Chain A
Amino acid sequence: MLWERFRHLLGETFLNFRRGGWGVIASIGAIAIAFLVTGIFLLLTLNLSTVVARWAEDFQVVVFLDDTITKKQRTLVQKRLDGEMAVRDVTYLSKKEALADFRRKIRGQESLLEGLKTNPLPASFQLRIREQYQTADVLGHLAASLKRMEGIEDVLYGQEWVERLTSLIEVMKILGIVIGGVLGVASLFIVANTIRMAVYARAQEIEIMRLVGATRAYIQIPLILEGTLQGGLGAALALGLLYALFRGTLWQLGTTASMIFAGTELTQFLEAEYRMAMVGLGALLGGVGSLVAVRRFLKV
């Protein structure tokens, strides 16, 4: 009996799906677009956050040294840095180490370095900054005063960038939520409309079922399941497209990407939880859309 019901439900759902034609395709497409756009924002924000977090952590201030710096000058710089309140620790990176480090980061593209006769990378001091000093303001002053010292070629500090990127990420997050929300609501209406069309197309059949004593649930559940299925399929389709887009972009960027983001986790797609959440959310959206339609357009 229960199995019979279940089979009826499944059969009915798929039958409606086939009968739905373009409406069904429009529904799935709308949900797919909504989730694709939202997914792009999600992917960008997540990956940028990872990159920025990494930069912020181990790339705070770098003091590049002149190739011509003397031992004495270097000791002076070292002393100065050790005495600096904002600096938590200092690591010296020689020219040789810098090259080795770079070589490691671009693994796979070592050919880029072929033909280099001299080592173009400068020696440097890598500074870690104490938490309470990690503002663009403090680091700006520190950089300016360091730059005036003998033997220092340049001072790079990522803080400003980190802050800019962080606010960019914030903006993108909000934008993603707003755009995703708008598209989500729009696709909800499209699903509702498709289900409304399904109700109209089956008006006669529904009328007969009603008159021979079908319960409300018996009539409504296949329709709601249909919307749920459309939503889930739409979101799954969006995931597929997003993945293709992601792979395509990485491939396009090629070497550049692997150099910029070497060692970070940008090359990661959405994690399983996110993927499942997206499909689940799509199904929910479709279900709610069809519930709205069924409530409004189905009399008992």
Chain B
Amino acid sequence: MIQMFHVSKTYPKDVVALSDITLHIQKGEFVFLCGPSGAGKTTLLRLIFRDELPTDGQILVNGRNVVRLRESKLPALRRSIGVIFQDFKLLMDRTVYDNLHLVTRVLGIPETISRRKIGRLLKEVGLLQKADQIPYSLSGGEQQRVAIARALVSDPAILLADEPTGNLDPDLALDVMRLLAEVNIRGTTVVVATHNPKLVAEMGHHTLILKQGRLVEEIP
């Protein structure tokens, strides 16, 4: 589903974020991407949905060469990938509902179907009662779940979660992980970036360990 061949990424001013990464993530897998802060986890995820281009190497996502993707094919790629951003990227001045509605509009989903879909997703993450509140008035964990619901609006084939348990207490973190596992069971390939090794140990999945931009270990 996701393949990288000798991928490197250097940001301006010679900041090396990734060097010579080769990896293969199968369809339907649940993969952890581990490593300390600054190891390059976010960068690796951003390469997958072509928010950034690699300095070197090739990336295949769902059979498409992301590096050589034409601009006109970019929306289709991004619609097939749901992303839970490390900083959530929620619009703080819109309701929870409107945050999700933004996506259904981009996707051109008709209003009646959109309404049902958003209702179902909010119910799934347990936020149906808060649909009309603005994210600003929600707790960190609730905002996190809004971000998850939004990432699932497009029924993506791939879900990328960047530090989805970042500042949650252990119980809530486990809840979120359970939610992601459910999504995975329904067929979505899930990649979770985290620097929380305890979480990884508890779940016991395919794990990739990054350190200073290098893939130092892979636990199948």
Contacts and interface: CB of A to CB of B under 8 A. Distances in A.
Contacts of B154: 212-213
A211 B49 contact: yes
A208 B49 CA distance: 13
B51 interface: yes
B172 interface: no
A208 B89 contact: yes
A300 B71 CA distance: 8
Nearest to A205: B91
Contacts, number: 48
Contacts of B78: 210-213
B107 A213 contact: yes
Given A211-B51, A214-B75, A1 B107 contact: no
A207 interface: yes
A215 B75 contact: yes
Nearest to A218: B106
B164 to A, nearest CB: 16
Contacts of A131: none
Contacts of A211: 49, 51, 78, 83, 89
A96 interface: no
B51 A209 contact: no
Nearest to A207: B89
B102 A208 contact: yes
Q: Is the interface of B mostly helix, strand, loop or mixed?
A: helix
The residue in B105, B110, B154 that gathers the most chain A C-beta atoms within 10 A of its C-beta is B105
Nearest to B103: A212
A273 interface: no
Given A213-B75, A213-B76, A214-B75, A208 B105 contact: no
The residue in A1, A207, A215, A300 that gathers the most chain B C-beta atoms within 10 A of its C-beta is A215
Interface in A201-239: 204-205, 207-216, 218
Contacts of B102: 205, 208-209, 212
- What's the interface size class on B, roughly? 20 to 34
Given A204-B91, A207-B89, A300-B74, A212 B108 contact: no
Contacts of A213: 74-79, 106-107, 154
Interface in A255-300: 300
A249 B129 CA distance: 64
Nearest to A212: B103
B111 interface: yes
A205 B83 CA distance: 15
Interface in A1-22: 1, 4-5, 8
Nearest to B74: A300
Nearest to B150: A212
A210 B49 CA distance: 11
Interface string B58-89: 00000000000001001111110001000001
Interface string B82-122: 01000001010000000000110111101100000000000
Contact of A216 (B51, B71, B76): B71
Contact of A209 (B83, B106, B153): B106
Interface in B139-161: 150, 153-154
A208 B78 CA distance: 11
B103 A4 contact: no
Contacts of B111: 4
B191 to A, nearest CB: 16
A209 B75 CA distance: 10
A70 to B, nearest CB: 94
A8 B110 contact: no
Interface in A185-210: 204-205, 207-210
Nearest to B51: A211
A279 B148 CA distance: 47
A120 to B, nearest CB: 77
Which 7 residue pairs spanning A and B have beta carbons closest together?
A: A213-B78, A213-B79, A213-B75, A214-B106, A212-B103, A215-B75, A209-B106
22 contacts: A1-B108, A1-B110, A4-B108, A4-B111, A205-B102, A211-B49, A211-B51, A211-B78, A211-B89, A212-B103, A212-B107, A213-B75, A213-B76, A213-B79, A213-B107, A214-B75, A214-B106, A215-B75, A216-B71, A218-B106, A300-B71, A300-B74
